[in-house]
Amino acid sequence: MSHPAAETSSFMTDFLRQSGGVAIIDGGLATELERHGADLNDPLWSAKCLLTSPHLVRAVHLDYLEAGADIIITASYQATIQGFEAKGFSRGDSEALLRKSVEIACEARDVYYDRCREGSPDGSDDGRVLKHRPILVAASVGSYGAYLADGSEYSGNYGDAITLETLKDFHRRRVQILAESGADLIAFETVPNKVEAQAYAELLEEEDIKIPAWFSFNSKDGINVVSGDSLLECASIAESCKNAVAVGINCTPPRFIHGLILSMKKVTTKPILIYPNSGESYDGDRKEWVQNTGISDQDFVSYVNKWCEIGAALVGGCCRTTPHTIRAIYKTLPKRSAALSSQ
């Protein structure tokens, strides 16, 4: 569906009202794909599954919908035309894979709605949430650093050679394709620095992108974004971008989120979205997660309640969070259970 500019401003407020005040974003993708049997030992990471095992990607999207997610994010975070072409794909095939990421998520939503129609009348279906509700498909756009797959998405340091124009050219075609693919909005995720946020904002304007977008930054110190750029300056770019319908933080340890929400509230009136990782630390050299460094779902959920109290409007999880985490969030937001059951 397309959203002319006049509608864009009310797009997220309307959706949040229908969701009972707070909307739930899905959780981690890669870990779940591996649990379903996918092999992700590849720089293209979850995008590889678009090609080899789309049924697994769809299964993970469905798991999250059945856990209560209102927004599912496509498996396109590391899917770039440049990355696919480096693997030998033609331009046309590369563009088709981007579209496919959105198609798979839309299929999952259709299957879910079918299951809701067939589900048990009281909604208690072996722990699955089968409630017909508005569900958004967010097309993920990862940073330039995610394409490099060298960890620079976590430092935000691209070097002097990478300018605003370089970044706009890098992202332009991917953003155009995802905007026309049937997704409801674009999710600019794990944005590590100010120049990339600026590039996205200018692209949306220059290309007259018709669908809304959200901007989600990452921080490793609870004050700035990972590059050291000011979070307030980054959030201000999103605030002044007319397509942006939400601004927030993802892929950041939960302990930093409270302070980051309060900071963002100083510069933005847009809904605030929060989907942190589990708090586990990632060893970039060994390319693996350090065991037992994260927090439990129970602790994650107690954080979520506090975040919503101080102004988070969209909450979910990033790396290493699972459908269990999302179901726990769903169960803990009493307002929404009541709102949904009265619809």
Residue with tokens 């979520």: 304
Instruction: Tell me how long the chain is.
Output: 343
Establish whether 318 is an annotated binding residue: yes
> Is there a contact between 320 and 28 (Cβ–Cβ < 8 Å)?
yes
Q: Which residues pair with 250 in a beta bridge?
A: 275
Measured torsion, CA atoms of residues 133, 134, 135, 140, in degrees rounded to the nearest 10: -160
> Is there a contact between 42 and 48 (Cβ–Cβ < 8 Å)?
yes
CA distance 251 to 150: 16
E-assigned strands of the chain?
23-24, 71-73, 124-125, 128-129, 136-141, 185-191, 213-217, 244-250, 272-275, 282-283, 288-289, 312-315
Closest CA to 238 of 313, 183, 275, 188: 188
Q: What is the DSSP letter of 290?
A: P
At 87, list the tokens. 């693997």
Establish whether 49 is an annotated binding residue: no
Establish whether 241 is an annotated binding residue: no
**Cβ burial 138-173 (10 Å sphere, 16+ → b, else e):** bbbbbbbbbbebeebbbbbebeeebeeeebbebbeb
Q: Which residues fall in the annotated binding site?
A: 251, 318-319
Q: Which residues fall in the annotated binding site for Zn(2+)?
A: 251, 318-319
